[in-house]
C-alpha cells in the first residue's frame, strides 16, 4: 500500500472499513447485545475489539507490509505443521511421470463458475500442447464438475479431463497440498490466494498464479505480486491467452523462482514463531 495513490490509501484506510462496518451493522448489533448480557463492553469496530487483548496473527513481515502495531499484536505466522500427510501412491506416480506439473486448487470456500473452469482447463490443454507443462493436478474440493460437464459436452478433451481420463491431468477431490507443493516436480501453484495456501507456497518456494475470489484474497494477490513471486488473473475477465502468457512468464523468468526462494527463507525462519505463540498464551 505504500506505493499506492492518495485515493487508494484513503479508500483502504477510511472508505472500505466504513463499508464493512455498515454491512455488518445488524450482525454487530446482535453480537453487542450478547456481549452486554455477559458483561463485555460493546465494540463497533475491529480495532476496538482487540485493543486491550492479545492478538496473534498468522502472518509475517517479509510478505506483510511493516506497520506500527500494539505490543499486544504479535505476528506468529506462517503456521506450518511440522508433519503433514504424504503423497498417495497415485499422486506420487503421477508427479514422477510429469516433471513439469501445475497444481491447481482453490481451497475449501472459493467457488468459480463452470465457464471459468472450462477456460482454465482449455489453458492447461494449450500449455500441454505447447510443451510448456506436462502435467496438472487439480484438487476440485467444492467445484461442481457435473455442471461443467454439461457445458463441455461438445469438447471431448474437456470431457475426458472431467471424467479423470486425461493422461496428463489428474483430478482429486482432496489432495495433500503441502506434500504436492514440496515435490520437486511441482513447478507452479494456481491458487485462490488464501492465506494458508500462500504461506505453503512460500514455504516450498513455489511461484503462484493467483485467481482471487473473495475475502482477503485480492489483497493477498497484490502482496504476492509485490513480493515478485506471483502474477494474478481476474475472475471477471478470465482469458486463455492471458493464463498461458502468465504461466510462461512464471516458469521462464528466473526472478520469480529467486524471489520464491528468498521468501522461503523468511517463511521457514518465521514458521518457528508458532512456539512463541504457545508461550504467549501460557
Q: What is the pLDDT of residues 5-62, one digit of tens each?
A: 888 888 877 887 788 778 778 888 888 888 889 887 777 666 556 667 788 888 888 8
Q: How confident is the model at residue 273 (pLDDT cuts 50, 70, 90)?
A: confident
Give the model's pLDDT for residue 46: 60
Whether residues 38 and 160 fall in one domain? no
121 has a pLDDT exceeding 70: yes
Distance CA 157, CA 165 (A): 9
Distance CA 90, CA 43 (A): 51
Q: Is residue 278 part of a domain?
A: no
Whether residues 114 and 219 fall in one domain? yes
Whether residues 125 and 5 fall in one domain? no
Give the model's pLDDT for residue 9: 82
Q: Is residue 6 part of a domain?
A: yes
Whether residues 141 and 36 fall in one domain? no
Whether residues 197 and 138 fall in one domain? yes
Q: Is residue 152 part of a domain?
A: yes
Give the model's pLDDT for residue 113: 86
1 has a pLDDT exceeding 90: no
114 has a pLDDT exceeding 90: no
Give the model's pLDDT for residue 169: 95
103 has a pLDDT exceeding 60: yes
Q: Is residue 281 part of a domain?
A: no
Give the model's pLDDT for residue 266: 93
Give the model's pLDDT for residue 142: 60
Contact between 212 and 192 under an 8 Å Cβ cutoff? The reply is yes
DSSP the chain: -TTS-HHHHHIIIIIHHHHHHHHTHHHHHHHHHHHHHTTPPP-SSHHHHHTTS-EEES--BTTBPP----TTEEE------SS-----HHHHHHHHH-SSEEEEE-TTT----HHHHHHHHHHHHHHHHTTS-SEEEEE-TT--HHHHHHHTTT-HHHHHHHTT--TTEEEESS--HHHHHHSTTEEEEEE---HHHHHHHHHTT--EEE---STTHHHHHHHHHHTTSEEE--GGG--HHHHHHHHHHHHH-HHHHHHHHHHHHHHHHHTTHHHHHHHHH-
**CATH code of 155's domain:** 3.40.50.2000
Q: Is residue 77 part of a domain?
A: no
Kindly state the average pLDDT of the residues 138-142: 79
Distance CA 106, CA 143 (A): 9
Kindly state the average pLDDT of the residues 194-222: 93
Kindly state the average pLDDT of the residues 98-113: 89
Whether residues 207 and 117 fall in one domain? yes
Domain count, the chain: 2
**Residue after which a domain boundary falls, among 53, 68, 97:** 53
Whether residues 180 and 248 fall in one domain? yes
Q: Is residue 234 part of a domain?
A: yes
Whether residues 132 and 202 fall in one domain? yes
Cis preceding-peptide flag for 78 (omega within 30 of 0): yes
- Read off the C-alpha cell for 18: 466504513
Average pLDDT, the chain: 87
Question: pLDDT (tens digit, 9 = 90+) per residue, 70-94?
Answer: 788 888 889 999 899 999 999 999 9
Question: pLDDT (tens digit, 9 = 90+) per residue, 173-192?
Answer: 889 999 999 999 999 999 99
154 has a pLDDT exceeding 60: no
Q: How confident is the model at residue 255 (pLDDT cuts 50, 70, 90)?
A: very high
Q: Indicate left, alpha or beta for 228 from its phi (over 0: left) and psi (-120 to 50: alpha).
A: left
Q: Is residue 78 part of a domain?
A: no
Whether residues 31 and 170 fall in one domain? no
Q: How confident is the model at residue 168 (pLDDT cuts 50, 70, 90)?
A: very high
Task: Find all residues with CB under 8 Å of 123, minimum gap 6, and list them.
Answer: 240, 243, 244, 247
Q: What percent of the chain has pLDDT over 90?
A: 49
Q: Which single residue is written with the C-alpha cell 491458487? A: 191
Give the model's pLDDT for residue 69: 78
Whether residues 118 and 224 fall in one domain? yes
Whether residues 141 and 205 fall in one domain? yes
Distance CA 196, CA 175 (A): 14
Q: Is residue 63 part of a domain?
A: no
Whether residues 43 and 94 fall in one domain? no
Q: Give residue 38's domain range.
A: 1-53
Amino acid at each position: 500500500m505504500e506505493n499506492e495513490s492518495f485515493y487508494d490509501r484513503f479508500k483502504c484506510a477510511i472508505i472500505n472499513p466504513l463499508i464493512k462496518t455498515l454491512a455488518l451493522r445488524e450482525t454487530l448489533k446482535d453480537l453487542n447485545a450478547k456481549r452486554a448480557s455477559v458483561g463485555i463492553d460493546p465494540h463497533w469496530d475491529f480495532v476496538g475489539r482487540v485493543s486491550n487483548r492479545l492478538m496473534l496473527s498468522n502472518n509475517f513481515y517479509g510478505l506483510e507490509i511493516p506497520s506500527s502495531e500494539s505490543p499486544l499484536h504479535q505476528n506468529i505466522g506462517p503456521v506450518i505443521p511440522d508433519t503433514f500427510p504424504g503423497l498417495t501412491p497415485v499422486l506420487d506416480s503421477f508427479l514422477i511421470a510429469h516433471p513439469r506439473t501445475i497444481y491447481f486448487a482453490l481451497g475449501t470456500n472459493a467457488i468459480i463458475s463452470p465457464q471459468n473452469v472450462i477456460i482454465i482447463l482449455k489453458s492447461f490443454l494449450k500449455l500441454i500442447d505447447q510443451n510448456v507443462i506436462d502435467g496438472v493436478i487439480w484438487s476440485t474440493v467444492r467445484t461442481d464438475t457435473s455442471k461443467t460437464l454439461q457445458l463441455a459436452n461438445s469438447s471431448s478433451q474437456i470431457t475426458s479431463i472431467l471424467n479423470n481420463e486425461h493422461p496428463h491431468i489428474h483430478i482429486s477431490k482432496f489432495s495433500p497440498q503441502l506434500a504436492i507443493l514440496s515435490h520437486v516436480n511441482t513447478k507452479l501453484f494456481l491458487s485462490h490466494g488464501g492465506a494458508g495456501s500462500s504461506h505453503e507456497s512460500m514455504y516450498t518456494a513455489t511461484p503462484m498464479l493467483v485467481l482471487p475470489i473473495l475475502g482477503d484474497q485480492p489483497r493477498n494477490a497484490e502482496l504476492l505480486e509485490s513480493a515478485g513471486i506471483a502474477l494474478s488473473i481476474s475472475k471477471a475477465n478470465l482469458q486463455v491467452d492471458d493464463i498461458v502468457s502468465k504461466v510462461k512468464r512464471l516458469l521462464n523468468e528466473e526472478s520469480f523462482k529467486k524471489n520464491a526462494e528468498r521468501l522461503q527463507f523468511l517463511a521457514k525462519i518465521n514458521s518457528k514463531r508458532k512456539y512463541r505463540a504457545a508461550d504467549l498464551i501460557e
